[in-house]
Structure 1
């Protein structure tokens, strides 16, 4: 191992750089991009800035430039985020400033060997980086890392085109090349490189568990076989995994609740089952098992495990992605899936849905839809209405996912029965109804969940208004609220005689609740019921002219009394018990 300190320009001119297969993909975001730009912008003239460690492993390959110069090839073991960003920034500076372009091209800083750029990312991003980011092709990003590369380029384009006075693009590019110093560490051998990489982090951005997993599996493959027998498979499968996980940028809004680590944890559940000590430490568990086999000299089983795990992880990424693209599913599945995703709190049922999609998603859409429906019933009853803790039922649901994945649960109807069984154990019918009839229902249930319930109830009301399913997301937005039909702050003389003396006991019941826009509620929500019904005086809106079904039907109610609240609550509860029933 050798080390030296030099500026970034000297490092770049020393050779060509590849990001090896066990490396993570590009992960810098705007905060890291801004930090680098600020370092360059505010660096005093006589000062050098330390840019960190760059760990490289020289390969047995050389390139020859068109001028006959030989360039060594290096794998970048650590520092690839910094090096990649520097290349992107230099390319942007070349686009913005003609003088920089002439210098960069004259010195062959970015393309020293034909179309081969100075640096190439790992396989899944290589074509995009070479042909689109640094080239002339117009390729759409297909992975999260490609999207981040595009965002890095666009960020620097905006910043450099509006750099302001006091610093030119030429000065900034020269600062980047000559005043950023790096400590270059050269290693010997790929095994040493992979081992050291496992213990390193790059500036300002931790490795994801998925990145660490890929690195570790490449490392174990190298140690347990000749010439990395599974290297191509591992690299190819992880490339496809990262492409599927582009769903984090392109999928349903609910996908923002999760990340790569969440996905990998859910996969571990369906792959290995549920053990509370292992479920949240899937990588540590995988490492422990493979290292145990290595210590025992069991190299062939290591290869089998790596092959099996990466194949399963690749399949699971496809299922995870599909669940957050409901519009691409069969119509019946899309309808149920959209409803569940809109409700939210899907973390505990995701392993079940992933396993079900893998087993039955393509061949039995009706069966898949029934499982999604059962999961929505569980989420609504257990988490929304009964307000159970977020980890309630997690172990049982993950165990069900594992049984589906391994074939122990062999039919969608069996999976539905298991989900209903779990729901019944935490939110049985009597308890569910008691929650709905709670006099403090408004205070004990989230506004969003009440609006979700009332939206579906209103869909079955006898009115000429026909809201579409897409209206649900609007009703659940901050622009809408839960309204008390009899206002909470109703003056004593306006309270119906049947409720006087006991108004506080009934005002927050489900039977006294409906949906209103934020504007409507703030303008008219405190008015007596009789004044809400019709467009009296100069009010612009009323129940009779409302575009919301749950409000419109109230215009036909003669008076709102205790009996009305009782009757309306019975109607809503009967609907809910039928809509979210178990079987």
Structure 2
């Protein structure tokens, strides 16, 4: 174990160049951590000097190291452990600096530099105020011997930079924050410039946010000592006291904050040190723990280069860190990759024993990489792990960040819309499969489009509309994701890597995997939200809050309602069959700017604006529409004719006017009901999968059956779908994602014997047509075209090749 020394912050920076190596993360501190540092500075200041307020600052006896020593000089604050790797010497303008790689502690040291930079800016402003007031050295309080301008230069040279060359910096930050560091710290730029720039990376914004928080803290100190007066209007006495206080606050950090500084001779030694610290419960992220163990293992084998392993691991982390808002995203990458790479998720591996957290699994499970394994096996394991993590990190970013997905992929607007919908609710369940699909097929492939579409159908129907538990199918999605991801591995690779067979073997190869995955998803769509459930919930009198039904809370998520209405709008424009109309449709990515419009207002101003049984009908699906951000909703509570003329006929969603009756016809419950029927019928088609149980209705069927073919909400339609779903499941041993009712002779009627059609006759004659009655007067509801009575309709099971896109 390397020797540990207690050092103050000023001693750490003395004649040192501190640099963040490539295998370390960029700046990642959250606002709370910056505020904690400032609170610690306040705490130590109070213990040394008492509560800071005007007229309370006593004179100092020394100006050494820019720190005062009167008061309780034995008060120190422990600032954590610092691990450095000395990389040699560097001549810097006549003095010799030691160059260090920061193995641990870069977040604290970087924030220290941000603090010093903000103090330097404030001291320069104080110096200007001193000059304007004519204050010189003779005016300084007893024991304070340096003017603020001198002190600003001193802090700059001791902590920030020496000279104008880049080599003269005391700290070289991580790659992703290098430009922001130069802008904010070296060039004294304003943080808002970076915070307002949508193109800047998340680590850059975190650095800018740290400076913004520290600047606010300094403004509060200024107000504490000077009140509402700015520096130029403050009295000489107040200005001198404020300067002394700023000097003391800085001294608290530079001389009263102590670190346990440890120097290691190599990255390997750092890995061993980290392992010792980690095993004592040190509070660091999962990613840090895994990386440190990989470094440790690499240092034990000549076949591995520890720095190269650490750098490859960090490449993956930094790929996500550019966009991640906190460390949870980094740890989620490690978690998702582990499940894809190993197939380890709850209760899926045979004879599973030992510790379950990922870090412990890597260290101690015989299937993973404890040091007892053969050196070649360890090298193979580590190399495969870091290489696949690096690849998965790119797919993780595309899957999890919509703006990146749309910018980095060349997918169709339809796929963009599906992926956006996936992010509306419970995306974490489906994310592993989306990541695996991007990995194996690329996001602009037809295979990815198929998988993403079915994932979105599942998510919309099951989680959003049916409101199933967010745990529903979580394990199943992980299983499919691993089997798809591992389908590209060579035969036996997983078994050789882990030393045993797996419960969920990979699909044979990516080419056949897509059909396996889509069939898998189809089954779960039909099982967890069959058509009857889907139609029932869309037909409720309050789909927003679900107030009409105990146990069903409605959509709740207005983003999902907006998406449903947007897709219906797109469908109506496609029916017009004009490219111009579709090109004028706003982007699905702008949906958050749209509002849900009640055609009959929720709070009508006149009786003419009310519906019959208004409260029961106003929140039905048929009464909802979309208004764009440019539309004028000023008549939102008026009667229908007024709203049509003032809003709808010129609305940004231009098809809205065509989909509604003319003002002279008016808006009533019948019109609302007809529109609801059309939207529900569209939803059934749009949010269906690749399999269907098709009921072909023979000529001579009842009027009720004929109506069921156009209105999916009728009792007869519910009965037919229920019987068809049950029969299909019994014959195929899987649930269909859709039940279709078509008339004999319709264009979309499946052809017997066609590719993609599975014949499921319930009659011994083998016919696929069924004559359907209303089932009243004790008559059988289903009759085969041969005249035999049936308990369930004849079926044709059809696949994507027949259903189309």
**Normalised by the shorter chain, which TM-score bucket?**
0.7 to 0.9
User: Which residue of structure 2 lines up, in the alignment, with residue 359 of structure 1?
Assistant: 440
Judge conservation of contact 1:455–1:550 (CA < 8 Å) in 2.
no
Q: Which residue matches 1:543?
A: 648
Q: From the superposition, tell whether residues 433 and 256 of structure 1 become closer, same or farther in structure 2 (CA, over 3 Å).
A: farther
CA distance in 1, matches of 2:608, 2:94: 98
Alignment of 1:333-352 (within 5 A): 333=412, 335-342=414-421, 344-345=424-425, 346-352=427-433
Asked if 1:115 is matched to 2:167, the reply is: yes
Would the aligned equivalents of 2:398 and 2:405 in 1 still touch at CA under 8 Å?
yes
Whether contact under 8 Å (2:601, 2:609) holds in the other structure is: no
Unpaired runs of 5+ residues, structure 1, are 250-254, 535-540
The correspondence of residues 51-200 of structure 1 with structure 2, limited to 5 A, is: 51-56=77-82, 62-63=88-89, 65=91, 78-94=104-120, 97=124, 98-104=149-155, 110=161, 115=167, 117-120=169-172, 124=175, 144-153=202-211, 156=214, 164=222, 165=226, 166-168=241-243, 171=247, 174-176=250-252, 178-186=254-262, 189-190=269-270, 192-198=272-278
**2:568 is the alignment partner of 1:457:** yes
RMSD, aligned α-carbons: 4.4
How does 1:295-374 map onto structure 2 within 5 Å?
296-323=372-399, 324=401, 325-333=404-412, 335-342=414-421, 344-345=424-425, 346-361=427-442, 365-374=445-454
Q: Which moved more, 1:104-113 or 1:43-52?
A: 104-113
| CA distance 1:38–1:469, shift in 2 (3 Å) | farther
Q: Which 5+ residue runs of structure 2 have no aligned equivalent?
A: 50-70, 125-148, 227-240, 350-355, 488-506, 547-553, 691-805
Greater fraction of residues in helix: 1
Bigger mean CA deviation after superposition, 307-316 or 68-77: 68-77
* Contact 1:52–1:79 under 8 Å retained in 2: no
Q: Could you tell me whether the CA contact under 8 Å between 1:12 and 1:109 is conserved in 2?
A: no
1:243 matches 2:306: no
Shift of 1:214: 1.3
1:448-487 to 2 correspondences below 5 Å? 448-461=559-572, 468=584, 470-477=586-593, 480-483=595-598, 485=600, 487=602
Q: Give deviations 1:315-366, integer Å, cap 9, x for gaps.
A: 001112233323335543464134422552222222112111111117x623
How far apart, in 2, do the equivalents of 1:14 and 1:163 lie?
A: 31
Q: Offset at 1:103?
A: 1.9
CA distance in 2: counterparts of 1:299 and 1:413, whole angstroms: 39
* C-alpha distance in structure 1 between counterparts of 2:615 and 2:159, whole Å: 79
1:404 aligns with 2:514: no
In structure 2, what is the Cα distance between the partners aligned to 1:485 and 1:264?
50
TM-score by length of 2: 0.59
Residues 176-224 of structure 1: CA deviation (Å, up to 9, x unaligned): 565423143547754542224425788xxx53322222122112222x3
User: What secondary structure sits across from 2:571 in the alignment?
Assistant: coil
User: What is aligned with 1:554?
Assistant: 660
Comparing 28-37 with 565-574, greater Cα deviation is found at 28-37
Please say if residues 598 and 625 of structure 2, whose CA atoms lie closer than 8 Å, have aligned partners that are also in contact. Answer: yes
- 1:524-539 paired onto structure 2 within 5 Å: 524-534=635-645
Structure 1 residues 448-457 or 189-198, which shifts more? 189-198
Q: Post-superposition shift, 1:580?
A: 1.6
SS at match of 2:242: coil
Once residues 264 and 566 of structure 1 are traced to their aligned partners in structure 2, the CA distance between those partners, rounded to angstroms, is 50
Q: Which residue of the other structure, out of 644, 667, 672, is the alignment partner of 1:565?
A: 672
Aligned counterparts of 1:197 and 1:130: Cα–Cα separation in 2: 30
Match for 1:234 among 304, 309, 315?
309
CA contact (8 A) 1:436 1:573 kept: yes
Q: Is the 8 A contact 2:90 2:97 kept in 1?
A: yes
C-alpha contact 2:25 2:317 (8 A) present in aligned 1: no
Query: Deviation string for 1:54-95 (max 9, x for gaps)?
Result: 435575765264587666666656543322322333345446
Deviation for aligned residue 1:529: 3.7
Selected match of 1:445 from 548, 555, 564: 555
Separation in structure 2 between the aligned mates of residue 526 and residue 134 of structure 1, nearest angstrom: 54
**What per-residue deviation string (whole Å, max 9, x for no partner) do you get for residues 533-567 of structure 1?**
44xxxxxx343444344653435261334432332
Q: In the alignment, is the contact (CA less than 8 A) between 2:466 and 2:537 conserved in 1?
A: yes
Higher-Rg member (1/2): 2
Report the Cα offset of residue 275 of structure 1.
Answer: 2.2
The structure-2 alpha-carbon separation of the partners of 1:243 and 1:468, relative to structure 1 and needing over 3 Å to count, comes to farther
Name the residue aligned to 1:252: none
